[in-house]
Amino acid sequence: MLNRFEAIFNILYVGLGCLLATTVALSTDTGSDGNAVNTGASTLNNVISEDPEFTDVIENITVPAGRNVKLACSVKNLGSYKVAWMHFEQSAILTVHNHVITRNPRISVTHDKHDKHRTWFLHINNVQEEDRGRYMCQINTVTAKTQYGFVKVVVPPNIDDALTSSDIIVREGDNVTLRCKAKGSPEPAIKWKRDDGNKIVINKSLEVHDLEADSLELERISRLHMGAYLCIASNGVPPSVSKRIKVSVDFSPMVWIPHQLVGIPMGFNITLECFIEANPTSLNYWTRENDQMIIESYKYDVLAAMKWIACILFIPICAAFTAQKTESDPNTRLLDNILSYVVGDASACGNYFEYACGKYATRHIDDSFTEIIQMLDHKVNKNLVLLMEELNQRSQSAVLNESSVEAKALQFYITCRDASLNTRSAEHYLRLAPPDKGLTWPQLTPGETAWPKEQFKWIKTLGYLHRYGLTNVIVSVMVTQNFENSSEFLLNLSMPSFEEESQHLNSFMETLATLHVMKVPSKSVVPLARKIRRLEHAIRILAEADDDDDESQFMSVQRLEYRTGLNWQMFIELLVDHRISPNFRVQVRNLHYFTALKVLMETSDAQMVASYIMTRFVLYLLNDSMGDRSPIECIKDMRRGMDQASNLIYKERFLEPATLQQFTKEVIELFDQLRRQFQLHIDKNSLGLTSRQNRMVGTKVQDIVLNIGNIPRGRDHRSFVSQYYKDLEFPSADLDYSREHLKLLEFRTQKQMAKLYQPAPSKDEFFFISDPDTAMSSTPYYMIRQNIIIVPHGLFQEPFFVSDSHDVFKYSLLGFTIAHELIHSVDTTGLLFDSLGNADKTGTEISTSPRFEAGLVCMNRNSTQYLDERVADISGLDLAYSAYLRIAKDRNYTDFANTSLEQIFFLNLAQFFCGDSHPTNFVDHDEDQIRLQQMLHGFAPFHKAFGCQTRSFYPEKCQLW
Ligand SMILES: [Zn+2]
């Protein structure tokens, strides 16, 4: 192959007109290797003079960017030949003879005529990084002669501010990652140090003087981490550079008092001390019992220091509060926030989700939550972390009352955070929860002894495990209200469901993994996994065979035992934890399933059945725990396991009574307006209902109760919660996560079972014993049998809700969510029950009436598995919007300059759906993008607000409520 430089070289010479025509002819027609070209001119040259040759090598040069450099190429006997310089990697011809070919103004060429070895110098001024590489010096002999020199350009480090952390303020307990990125050549190494020379605390067990890494991760940051950190970049090219990053850790004021009671003779002076630690600095003041602030005077002398404040005064009640963030107008704040998610270039009419929420992902790139609603929960969790850490500090200087709600919550939190990993293992759980008294699980049976399978009774084991809330494995058990009489609670027995992911074994690989963590010996894992999956399959077949049997029947336990041949009395006694009479009444579905089940169980190997139950039990436990020891995950565990306690302490610490009162007032007013609007819709009777049907719906909606905070109304919250946890104790000194987790599960099941023996609570007494999901969430939900909407306290946060904000904000977001829940009372499921929670055929008449069915068909035109949710979305939006319009007419409204009120309504509505969660993460609902799109489909006020073409493009809005 012809070296392409030679070819370029020759063509260039022609262009410059300084090369003999013969040379061109000779060199350009070569078809293959340069060596083959050895004719004509070369022979001629040989005759005239000796061939030119290099007399010295080109020296390699290392040069810092910005300097000048020169490369030397020495040649003798050049004769009429020429010397050229090229940049090899860039395929660029730089100079030929005395001519500079490149347009790069920093390149020049000189040569020394007087030197007997004539030296050709290539000069590069102000060297840049791109100048690095191989330089070729070439003589245009027939077979071109070349030699190379290398220029290495080094660049001192330079910190890239855009990719490097700046000063930050974080809350105590957060995880923080400081990043540092520097450019330079060679690539700089990054080192972290503290500016004050102290060691860096990476985590509990690791402290280092310095750390070489691109990022510095500080786990569960505490006030001790506060200070300036240096990120130092060096690469051997001086100077090294550094950036100082200040980390401030905010923590709420912590107060402690060395002496709670001080005695003093009359007439003496006394100093009372109260220590406060807070960042940012707290405002501190003393009050007396009458809540009057004590002002400095001849009688009272108040001393304060910047961060550590010793208040020296009279009564040991020291109050502190941190300065509130600067208050701007709430409407401006809310609007600014909404607009910060908007992608102005996107089309509101074409893709509204992208338009209203498009910037969500970039704004929350580093956040652990994936939607705005989750952000509220995240804030609740972070606040609770703070509160727990505060309580923990306080418990170290003073004794917390052990029976207090705080002490119990703290004990569980600390156990989650600090208990050893061994106490979280599946094996440990299984030792604590054996299949029967005196029986261990098969793989935990010691040594060579065979597992005593004759001792194993599957129904008894299910009874034991149900005490921890395990249900829907082989048998499904629930405490429910009687369909016909909601004031009666019953034990409902039915076949298990396999629909949801948590209701069956998952893939074969996952089954293997579960058996593995349960310490099943490796050689048995594969065959056992096959067997238990086969068993589950067989149970599933039985269940499918009985799928049509939906009728519930009431019968005594004795009768049920007779019909199925199974020992239900023992099973139920284990659940309720005491003896029951054979006449104990239960509600049973799928009787045929149970009869068939007996045969299946009798013919299955006991050890395999035990293993199946055990595997499902472990999956259930893993599912019920965040499985993580970080503070924020432990808070989630705490909220899930101790929902009422978490609820109380959150409310008392973070919601001022006056604020809460204001919130409550506004939410109730909002709800009343929505309900009144619904009443107007019913009066219009667009569904053409009979007056009896209309009355049923009207009464139902009229009777809905709003329960704020999931608290029994009319009871003192604290005394209710203290009473609720009266029997829960964590007495042991050692920390054991599984033990306490099981205890909480057992506690919850007992509360459920206790309902069987109490009269049904009135609406005022009602509170929901949360399921694991609702306990951790701040979204409102509708209780179908009680006809109650529960609004968690976590919702009362900006930007979701700000009191005294413009109605357009309230109705579009909180208003919509409450309207959505209100509609659930009259969706296809809600209509099954009347206002008292009893099954009512009138509702079924309504949901099967022609116009109602037509509305459903319309709403399902883009089909969904969650039709009731779509009903609640579409009718809920209609309700919230029409209520807002009605209110707006009566009130005097301010204007927001660039955004119309209608646009604000729909943009704020979108806040409920904005997020970047993966479509597979949505449970029991369509994904948010689809929900938003479907609700606005054909909704004329929306199209009008954004000037979209209506009618011709969009179908009519679906008519239902
Ligand atoms: Zn819903």
Q: Over the stretch 559-612, which tens digit does the pLDDT of each residue have?
A: 999 999 999 999 999 999 999 999 999 999 999 999 999 999 999 999 999 999
How high is the pLDDT of residue 41? 42
Cβ burial of 447 (10 Å; 0-12, 13-18, 19+) is exposed
Residue 184 predicted with pLDDT over 50: yes
Q: Give 827 Cα–ligand 1 centroid separation in angstroms.
A: 10
- Output the CA 197–ligand 1 centroid distance in Å: 55
- How many angstroms separate the CA atoms of 582 and 568, rounded? 10
| CA of residue 960 to ligand 1 center, whole Å | 16
Task: Compute the distance between CA of residue 225 and CA of residue 223 in angstroms, rounded to an integer.
Answer: 5
Ligand 1 centre from 501 Cα, in Å? 20
If you measure from the C-alpha of residue 779 to the centroid of ligand 1, how many angstroms do you get, rounded to a whole number? 10
What is the number of alpha carbons within 13 Å of residue 365 lying toward its C-beta? 3
Among 20-34, 189-203, 503-517, 830-844, which stretch is predicted with the lowest mean pLDDT? 20-34
**Which tens digit of pLDDT belongs to each residue from 927-936?**
888 899 889 9
Q: Domain 660-711+767-961: which topology? A: Collagenase (Catalytic Domain) (3.40.390)
Answer whether residue 641 shows pLDDT above 90. yes
Which of 576, 604, 609 shows the shortest CA–CA distance to 458? 609
- Give the integer Cα–Cα distance in Å for 939 and 876: 12
CATH topology classification for 160-249: Immunoglobulin-like (2.60.40)
Give the amino acid at 730. F
pLDDT > 80? residue 411: yes
Which pLDDT band holds residue 737 (cuts at 50, 70, 90)? Answer: very high
Query: Helix, strand or coil for residue 37?
Result: coil
Average pLDDT, the chain: 85
Contact, 271 vs 286, CB < 8 A? Answer: no
The least confident of 36-40, 93-97, 135-139, 619-623 is: 36-40
- Is the predicted pLDDT of residue 854 greater than 80, yes or no? yes
- Fold designation for 422-623: Neutral endopeptidase; domain 2 (1.10.1380)
How close is the Cα of 378 to the center of ligand 1, in Å?
Answer: 21
Identify whether the C-beta of residue 251 lies closer than 8 Å to the C-beta of residue 173: no
User: Which of the residue ranges 348-352, 446-450, 704-708 would you say has the lowest mean pLDDT?
Assistant: 446-450
Q: Which residues contact 648 (CB under 8 A, 6 or more apart)?
A: 405, 717, 718, 721
Quick count: other Cβ atoms within 10 Å of Cβ 581?
Answer: 10
Ligand 1 centre and the CA of 701: distance in Å?
Answer: 16
Model pLDDT, residue 299 = 56
Given this model, what pLDDT does residue 957 score? 73
Q: Please tell me the distance between residue 788's alpha carbon and the centre of ligand 1 in angstroms.
A: 13
Mean pLDDT of 469-493: 93
Going from the Cα of 933 to the center of ligand 1, the distance in angstroms, rounded, reads 16
Between the CA of 404 and the centroid of ligand 1 the distance, in Å, is: 36
Burial 261-289 (b: 16+ CB within 10 A, else e): eeeeeeeeeeebbbebbbbebbebebeee
**Ligand 1 center from residue 831 Cα (angstroms):** 15
pLDDT at 226 over 90: no
According to the per-residue pLDDT averaged within each range, which of 89-93, 288-292, 557-561 is highest?
A: 557-561
Confidence of residue 715 (pLDDT cuts 50, 70, 90): confident
Contacts of 542 (CB under 8 A, 6+ apart): 495, 593, 596, 597, 600
Residue 826 CA to ligand 1 center (angstroms) comes to: 12
Determine the straight-line distance between the first and last CA of the chain, rounded to whole angstroms: 81
- When pLDDT is cut at 50, 70 and 90, the band that residue 853 belongs to is very high
Task: Give me the percent of the chain exceeding a pLDDT of 90.
Answer: 50
Q: Is the pLDDT reported for residue 33 higher than 50? A: no
CATH top-level class of 4-152 = mainly beta
Complete DSSP assignment for 711-758: --TTS-HHHHHHHHTTT-----SS--HHHHHHHHHHHHHHHHHHGGGS
780 Cα: distance to centroid of ligand 1 (angstroms): 9
Q: Residue 876: pLDDT above 90?
A: yes
Is the pTM above the cut of 0.75?
A: no
Q: How do 788-791 and 705-708 pair as beta strands?
A: parallel
Mean pLDDT of 149-167: 90
User: Which is more confidently placed, 272 or 638?
Assistant: 638
Mean pLDDT of 741-747: 96
Backbone torsion region of residue 519, taken as left when φ is above 0, otherwise alpha when ψ lies between -120 and 50, otherwise beta: left
How far apart are the CA of 920 and the centre of ligand 1, in A? 18
Neighbours of ion ligand 1 (CB under 5 A): 869, 872
Q: From CA 716, how far away is CA 724, in angstroms rounded? A: 12
Quickly list DSSP for 244-299: EEEEEEEEEEEEE-S-S-----TT-----EEEEEEESPEEEEEB-TT-PBPPP-SS
CA 535, chain centre distance (Å): 36
Identical fold for domains 4-152 and 160-249, yes or no, is yes
Strand partners, 492: 478, 587
User: Ligand 1 centre from 866 Cα, in Å?
Assistant: 9
- Rounded to the nearest angstrom, the distance between the alpha carbon of 865 and the centre of ligand 1 is 13
DSSP 8-state symbol, 685: T
What average pLDDT does the segment 160-189 reach?
A: 89
- pLDDT at site 880: 97
Contact between residue 124 and residue 104 where contact means Cβ atoms under 8 Å apart: no
- Ligand 1 centre from 869 Cα, in Å? 5
Q: Is the pLDDT of residue 474 over 90?
A: yes
Domain ranges of the chain: 4-152, 160-249, 257-322, 422-623, 660-711+767-961
DSSP state of 122: E
In this prediction, residue 205 carries a pLDDT of 77
360 and 916 Cβ atoms separated by less than 8 Å: yes
Give the pLDDT confidence score for residue 296 in this predicted structure: 57
934 alpha carbon – ligand 1 mean position (Å):
14
Please determine, for residue 623, whether its predicted confidence score (pLDDT) is greater than 70. Answer: yes
What is the tens place of the pLDDT at every residue in 301-338?
554 432 233 333 333 333 333 333 344 788 888 998 99
Give pLDDT, residue 8.
39
Coil, helix or strand at residue 558: helix
Q: Of 112-121, 550-559, 858-867, where does mean pLDDT reach its minimum?
A: 112-121
Query: What local confidence, expressed as pLDDT, does residue 197 receive?
Result: 82
CA of 824 to the centre of ligand 1 (A): 7
